[in-house]
Structure formats: C-alpha cells, structure tokens
Amino acid sequence: MEYFQLKNIPNMKYMRKYSDNIQYGTAGFRTKANALEHVLYRMGLLAVLRSKVKNAAIGLMITASHNIESDNGVKLIDPAGEMLEAAWERIATNLVNVEDRNLVSTIKHIIEEENINMSVDAIVITGRDTRESSPTLLNAAVMGIKALYGIVQDFGIVTTPQLHYLVVCTNTKSNYGDPTLHGYYIKISEAFKYVRQKQINNGQYVAELLLDAANGVGAIAAKEFQKYLGTTLAINIYNDGYGKLNFMCGADFVKVEQVPPVNFHAKRNFRSVSIDGDADRIVYFYVDEYEKFHILDGDKIATLIAEYLKELLKESHLSFQLGLVQTAYANGSSTDYILNVLQIPAVCVPTGIKHLHNKALEFDIGIYFEANGHGTVLFKETVIKTIKEAVTNPERSTNEKEAASKLLNIINMINQTVGDALSDMLLVETILHAKGWDIMEWEKMYDDLPNKQIKMKVYDKSIITTTNVGTQCITPEGLQDAIDEIVSQYKRGRCFVRPSGTEDIVRIYAECENLCDLDKLIKDVASVVYDCAGGIGPKPQVF
C-alpha cells in the first residue's frame, strides 16, 4: 500500500471537534447536525473503501428521517440497495470515533484487514434531504470521497428510498430499473396506471387523498409523482415544505400521538396519509363524523397487502411461500388476524429494518412492516421468473394470465430495496381500488387492541437491556418482574420497554383490551421504569 494514496486524508477543516462517541446503528449515524462534519468526511472515506471491496457503487444518504430539524445523519447503502452489513457498522463506528492523529493508520488497517484492492475504481452515489445543514454535510462527504479518489454521482435532494433505488439500478445495469429519478417515477407510476386501467373510481373507493408530507423531501417527490399519475389519483398535499420539518406532523408524530398533524384540514371520513421527513414511513388515518381519530398503521397496511397478494396468487393458480414479518410493536390483533384468518405465517423479529428485511428474504414472497409504517415486500427472483412465464403461457386461462400480469405490475410498483412511503401509498391505493373500499371498510378487517406508546428521558439508556426480540428487560434487576405484575392485572395486556437506538430515551409500548384501562397500565409501567432506570425530570404524565 503506497502512502501517496492516503496523503490527502488529513484535512484540517474536518478534524474531530467533539469528544463524545457516536454509534452506527440501524439508521446509520444520527445526532445534532453541528457535530457531524467530521463524521461525514470520514463516512466519505469509508464509502470509497466499501465500494472498492464490493467492486460496485455504494450509496451515501444524508438525512435524520423523522428526527427534529436540528438533527441530521448519514448512512451507507450497499450495492443491492440493502443496509450496510453489520461487520462494517462496527468498522464505521471505530473510524468515526478515532482520534485525528490515528485516522490514517486506521484507514491503513481497514485496507489491510479487508484486503482492499486500492486500484479498483470507487463510485459513491450521494443524496440528501431538505435540512438546512445537509449541503454543508454533503460537502464534507464529497471531500472524504475525493480524498481517496472516489467518483461522486450526486443526485441532490432525494428521498431515502429513491437513493436506495438509484444504487441498485446502477449496480444491476438497469435490470431493476433505469438509474435516474425519471426512471423511478415512470416505473412505479406506469405499473400503478396499468393495474387501475381506465376505471378511476370503484365502489366506495374515490381516487383522491390528503397527504401530510411532514415539510420534508417527500413533498417534492409527491408533487413530481402527481405529474406522472395524471388524473388517476388526486393528491392534496399539506405540510409541503413551508413549515418546520417533522414538527407536530409526519408519520412518527401521527402514529405516536394518535392525532392529525398540524396545518391539516381533515375532512370527515376522508382518506388521509402521513409520511415522515425522508419518505420511508407511512400511516393512513381519518377523522369520523364524531371527530374521533382513527389510525391505520403499518400493521393494517401489511395485512391489507398480504390478503391481496394471497387473492392474486389464488386467481393465478400460483403457489409460493408467503410470509409476514413484524416486530414487538405490532398490535396483537393484527398477528391474530394474520395467523388465524389469513392463515399466513407471521414471525416476530427485533426492532430495526435490517432484521425485518433479512427475515423476509427467507420467504418466496416476504412482507415486512413495522407498526410505524416502515416496510415493503420482497420477491425472490425465481418467483418473478415463474410469474412472467405464467403471463405468456398459452395453456393458462385468460383469468389466470390477467392475475399473473397484475402480480408483475404490483412487483414493479413496489420499491423492494427499502420501505418507501410513496410506493407503499400507491400500492395501498391500488388494493383499495381493486376491492372498492373506502378507508372505513379497510379498517373493518380487524379491530386493533387499544394501544399507546410514550417516550421517557433517562440518564443512561444502556442501563436497560432486553432479550426476546426486545420484549423483556434483563437489566435493571427486578424491572421485568415489576412490569409483569402490572400487566397481569389487565385483560389481553401487553407492555414492553425498549431503549432507543438513536436518542437518550426509552420507549414504552402498551396495549390491552379495554381503552379505559390503557392510560393506567402505561402510566404504572412508566413509573417503575422511572424508579428503576433513573428518569430525568418529573415522572411522565399520561393523558
């Protein structure tokens, strides 16, 4: 390894200015934006090394998703559009936290340990969200990329799912799609219009919705989609970028608070959608004639998709292993419905998209969604090949071929690389249109158990450790016993505590059969967590 290849690495502008360590998690690095310049510079360096190892383009996305506007973050995207592999998460964490004087030696160590051929060309595809800090952080990343002679392909302001799409398209030489934003919009919108045909409305379904875009990049993408969709779907956009990013709006706010977003003119019994700041989460909701709020979250979306795919497989006489992957945040009623009504396998994995994605790959068709609305559907290549053959098979009936053709277009409508709020939205709209359902009919699939989630600040979130996919506390000692004692007093009660992967908080989730008991259940659990884990400030009040 010749030193001249590393001579440009030391850069006085991007020296480490903060002593606190930062961890690469499921969401990559995420913290206050003013602490991230050196992180972005070093992630630019790492992206080049990763590209050389994989001999493929790597993505670098600058976003803090549903976090507040003053935060920002960065994550790398592997060649197939997937999350960075776990071993390199550890490498990233180490690289970002080493002292400046050890930066070059750490890079040398990575090169030697991973046996990286530095003569291989490196391509890094970059994108950013709409945060004020993102251009500055992009410049830092680009400087890191160029310091190791990497090639930058910058797509500017894009949603996180769009960057995942662009990475996989670049590396598959257009087999997945055209590696441009136009290619992204045209692939998904044309599939949507094909399945819908000329029938815009159907039964109780009306082709119009209200969209809360969280004042993020999703507003830009939604407006662009509207150009491609034409009259097939009217999207009325609120929180379209003129307000504060993710402030009292967006999918995370609507899901946790279970109220409509601000600056949103909800029509009674009208289909409404909320996405998050980087457009990878989605929830549906409506307000009824009595002004009661109703939410249809990731669980409802997953079950709707599962039922529809099962119907299409039956109509096309195709047999594949269909499975659904959830986390502990999934409502208990949704799991019961999947297993007992749909009779589809359902498995629970630890929180984090990488866990859901990896488990979904084990099925022929794997559906995965977190309750927060982050999810997608994965199809094995052998499944896609079989469906294509069914479309053109002269021995199959017209109905079978039509169902198979719908399946193919559904696959094109789905962004399989990662949860994509706008792709998922069009898929849900397709299914509701096919069934002739309004949002109230969809909600009737099953009744959610009353549930609530709250956040609590603690001095040290690492005090709480968990097992059994994050549903049982190992430490502090005695905490789980206290939670179990409280939960046992409630019919169909369930509650768990989980430390956040990105914030100095713990999240508490609870559900039970009776709505009137829910606040007391979660308040009592929050009280014992506060006492055992050292909460900050007054004990949480639950209303």
217-254 tens-digit pLDDT? 999 999 999 999 999 999 999 999 999 999 999 999 99
Q: Annotation-wise, does 278 bind a ligand?
A: yes
> Using CB atoms within 10 A of its CB, is residue 289 exposed (0-12), middle (13-18) or buried (19+)?
exposed
Q: List pLDDT tens digits, range 421-460.
A: 999 999 999 999 999 999 999 999 999 999 998 888 887 8
C-alpha dihedral over 287, 288, 291, 293, to 10 degrees?
-40
Residue 77 lies in a domain: yes
- The answer to whether 65 is a known catalytic residue is yes
pLDDT for 234 equals 97
In a domain, 334, yes or no: no
| Residue 476, annotated as binding a ligand | no
Among the candidates 136, 157, 178, a domain finishes at 157
| Residue that is last in its domain, among 141, 157, 173 | 157
CA 542 centroid distance within chain: 28
Instruction: Report pLDDT for 535.
Output: 61
Residue 449: what pLDDT?
Answer: 94
Q: Please check if 499 is assigned to a binding site.
A: yes
Distance, CA of 159 to CA of 418 (rounded, Å): 11
Where residue 456 sits, what CATH number does that domain have?
3.30.310.50
Considering the domain boundaries, does residue 371 fall inside one?
no
From the candidates 19, 51, 65, 423, give the one annotated as an active-site residue.
65
- 91 belongs to a structural domain: yes
Give the per-residue pLDDT at 539: 62
Identify whether 402 is part of a domain: no
Output the pLDDT for position 1.
45
- pLDDT recorded at residue 27: 86
371 is in an annotated binding site: yes
Q: What is the mean pLDDT of each run of 10 residues along the chain (543 residues)?
A: 67 89 90 96 98 98 94 96 94 96 95 94 97 97 96 98 97 88 97 94 97 97 97 96 95 94 94 97 97 96 98 96 95 95 95 92 97 96 96 94 96 96 98 98 96 86 89 92 95 92 83 94 92 68 50
Torsion angle, alpha carbons of 95, 98, 103, 107, to 10: -30
Confirm whether 479 is domain-assigned.
yes
CA angle 58, 60, 65 (to 5 degrees): 140
468: number of Cβ within 10 Å: 13
Residue 538: what pLDDT? 62
Range of the structural domain that residue 481 is part of: 451-533
**Angstrom distances, CA of residue 189 to CA of 348, 410, 495, 507:** 32, 11, 41, 37
Q: Which token pair is 415? A: 């962004």
Report which of 53, 58, 74, 79 is spatially closest to residue 129, judged by C-alpha positions: 74
- 98 part of a folded domain: yes
d(CA 186, CA 192): 10
Domain boundary among 137, 157, 177: 157
Q: Is 333 annotated as a binding residue?
A: no
CATH number where 68 lies: 3.40.120.10
DSSP 415-444: -TTS--HHHHHHHHHHHHHHHT--HHHHHT
Q: Give the total number of structural domains in the chain.
A: 2
Does 65 count as an annotated binding residue?
Answer: yes
Q: Are 166 and 156 in contact (CB under 8 A)?
A: no
On whether residue 122 sits in a domain, the answer given is: yes
